[in-house]
Chains A and B, each alone.
Chain A
Amino acid sequence: MSAHTHTPEDFKPRSREALADPRLRANFRATMDFLVERRAAQFADPAEYARLRDLGEAIRRHALANLPELLEQLERKLAQRGVQVHYAETIEEAQEIFAEIAGCHGARIMVKGKSMVSEEIGLNQAMEECGVECIETDMGEYILQLDGDRPSHIIMPAIHKSKEDIADIFARHIPGAGHTEDVNELIGIARKALRRKFGQAQIGVSGVNFLVAETGTLVLVENEGNGRMCTSVPDVHIAITGIEKVVEKLEHVPPLISLLTRSATGQAITTYVNLITGPRRPGELDGPREMHLVLLDNGRTQAYRDERFRSTLQCIRCGACMNHCPVYTRVGGLTYGTTYPGPIGAIISPHLQGLGATRDLPTASSLCGACGEVCPVGIPIPELLMRLREAARHPVDESGHPPLRGQGAAASQLERLAWKGWRILYSNSRLYRIFAWLATRLRWLTPARQPGWTQGRTPLRPAPHSLRDLLAARRREQAALQAAAPSARRSGAGTG
């Protein structure tokens, strides 16, 4: 249960704990290696990958450049198809929308397909408070919900659990389920338990991978079929996603899906690509009678408003950046304490939750650049991390951009003073000379423990002689040599 209390503020202590857990590290290492290999096999031809990625990036950038118009077009199309569109600026507003729809239908049970945005608004908890049971139906998410745990990866949510763990969880929480560690049987147990729920639920909830403005279509990709269940069986379907998920045309979807599934799990395509364009029409025997789409802002407009951060919204949530991240692989997803972990989490969470809470996340990177290289829509993640680090350190932006929420949260008076001193020292040669003279003489005074630095490195200590002293000494030596043997002068200069 402790998982529920994770917050991004605890990132540092939590990562220390995670690093000390060999089983967790082995789990993550193995899974990430597996996903990395599968992806690499899909993109064996780098030239083809580059072309597809450029196309994907162009599609997403084009969509973002026209975002307000596309949202309006989408809204019109959806209205024609009988879908009700709701905008929510905050998490609370989104929760209210769900509560109201559930209230209208007197719903007691909701079944939910995998949706990170529903995770972002804490839907399960909020529904529980209004007396609605909201059941996760993605196998991984279902396991976690039974155990009161949280997802640690956006594509493979339960990778931190072993089949022995899951056998225990099922035996404890599913009535009539015996104890088995056979994976086929485990899935069979969950399948049966959830089928009952699909039949009973009045409302089905889903996320959305892409929204198509020209047709008013919701695109969902999945392997399990629970997404299709949630959007076909209950009488009401509520889809929730971020405002940035829209693309202009239907033809923009195939390349994005190809990038998404190949980057995420190394599959050329998922079992199902589900294109939903409205509730059931007269004559149709199933499908929801009522359909809603909730479009969530929750800080996305902050990323949008500043061109330096807008590319954050190009993301198609494939998870490749985390699979390839040396930090994520070692500390795992739960450590981040945010809905989206890993590099994507580090660049999006500051907009969703403010830099105050998330100031450490952009520093959780060695800036090796792997995330930026594998991102299928060309988001320059390392650059964005640097910009966020800077924003966290400086309360006022010198470039004149409006401040981010929580801007300057990591600013330190001491650090500012240190830099100020540094500047004075380095722009005044007399002062600098005195400083260098003192530093080289008093080097034995430098402490052996230097907070932050010596955790993983040997202590910093001034050299015994400054460069200036060394040069002067060498010049003296050369002069002495020349005086002794003037004929050696030419060849001697060459070896300096």
Chain B
Amino acid sequence: MITSLKQRRARDNILSRLRAAPQSAQEAVPDVAAYYREAPVVTAGSKVERFIEQATYWHAQVVEAGVDAWPEAVLKVAQDKQLRRILLGRDSPIGDALGRVLPPDWTTWYQGDWPLCKPHLFDEVDAGITSTVAGIARTGTLVLWPGAAEPRTLSLVPPVHIAVLFASSLHETWLDAATVGNWSARMPTNVVLVTGPSKTADIQRLLVYGAHGPCELVIVLVHDEPAGRGTT
């Protein structure tokens, strides 16, 4: 109680000090859209090609797949990498399709009080699979909206993160993705932009992948764009 009174006073003091300060001359409202409109546009290649180039540059592995065959592409990744304990969200938009293809004894559904078992999550999972809400061509970035269907830790804790990205959801910049997706009106509890696997250069500037998050990021890029590969 005492603390909250104290905090109330702190708040009032801080705000009144700010208010008492001389007003700056009215600052121009920043025009973000104008900057991006006039910014030099990279036009080499299609959005898909640029996304692949950038994502690969950031050390993600990109696997391309047709619109009907992507669950099999995910399976192949699991087989190649010998991932036997795979975690995924039951209500995820890709959950059903993957559930049909992945062997049941390889899959664990992230549900119920499973997250209470932190040791399981931290020590016994080989990979987590998530959907994505968008991709960003300029930086090879994935946009994730973790939530009830796909918990935050699903893309973070397992050593391998497999993300399914539909080419039709690619945008040039993340400002585009946020504007088109009207994020500011409907922010979920968590949005994460992911560019490559986790990394650190804290020891002598030497780059090491797999700092605290995934050591590997595999992007299964689904070609669902209307005119096939090559549209921008």
A residues lining the B interface (CB < 8 Å): 31, 34, 45, 48, 51-52, 55, 58-59, 61-62, 64-65, 67-68, 71-72, 81, 86-89, 93, 96-97, 100, 137-140, 143, 156-159, 161-163, 166, 183-184, 186-188, 191, 194-196, 198-199, 214-217, 223-226, 228-229, 232-233, 243, 249-252, 254-255, 265, 268-281, 283-287, 295, 297, 301, 304-307, 310
As a 0/1 sequence over residues 87 to 129 of chain B, the CB contacts with chain A under 8 angstroms (1 = contact) are 0000000000000000000000011001100110010000000
Q: Contact between A254 and B7 (Cβ–Cβ < 8 Å)?
A: no
Q: Contact between B211 and A191 (Cβ–Cβ < 8 Å)?
A: yes
Chain A residues, Cβ within 8 Å of B146: 287
Q: Contact between A274 and B192 (Cβ–Cβ < 8 Å)?
A: yes
Report if B180 contacts A (CB, 8 A). no
A-B contact count (CB 8 A): 258
Q: Contact between A268 and B139 (Cβ–Cβ < 8 Å)?
A: yes
Shortest distance from the beta carbon of B22 to any chain A beta carbon, whole Å? 6
Q: Contact between A255 and B194 (Cβ–Cβ < 8 Å)?
A: no
Chain B residues, Cβ within 8 Å of A283: 148
Shortest beta-carbon contacts, A-B, top 5: A225-B213, A140-B202, A224-B211, A225-B198, A225-B212
Give the number of chain B interface residues (Cβ < 8 Å).
Answer: 80
Q: Contact between A297 and B14 (Cβ–Cβ < 8 Å)?
A: yes
Residue from A52, A137, A226, A250 in contact with B183 in the complex, judged by beta carbons closer than 8 Å? A250
Q: Contact between A287 and B110 (Cβ–Cβ < 8 Å)?
A: no
A-B contact pairs, 24 of them (CB 8 A): A51-B35, A68-B19, A81-B189, A140-B203, A157-B202, A163-B203, A187-B210, A194-B212, A215-B184, A215-B187, A223-B201, A225-B212, A228-B152, A228-B156, A232-B156, A233-B118, A243-B14, A250-B183, A252-B30, A254-B32, A271-B199, A273-B193, A275-B187, A277-B189
B residues lining the A interface (CB < 8 Å): 3, 6-7, 10-11, 13-15, 17-24, 26-33, 35, 38-40, 58, 110-111, 114-115, 118-119, 122, 138-139, 141, 146-148, 151-153, 156-157, 173-175, 178-179, 183-184, 187-206, 208, 210-214
Shortest distance from the beta carbon of B197 to any chain A beta carbon, whole Å? 7
What's the Cα separation between A251 and B187 when bound, in Å? Answer: 13
Given the known inter-chain contacts A271-B197, A285-B151, please indicate yes or no for A93 contacting B6, CB distance below 8 A: yes
| 12 further contact pairs, Cβ within 8 A, besides A58-B31, A156-B205, A273-B193 | A62-B27, A65-B24, A67-B18, A93-B7, A139-B203, A158-B203, A251-B175, A272-B192, A274-B190, A277-B191, A287-B151, A304-B18
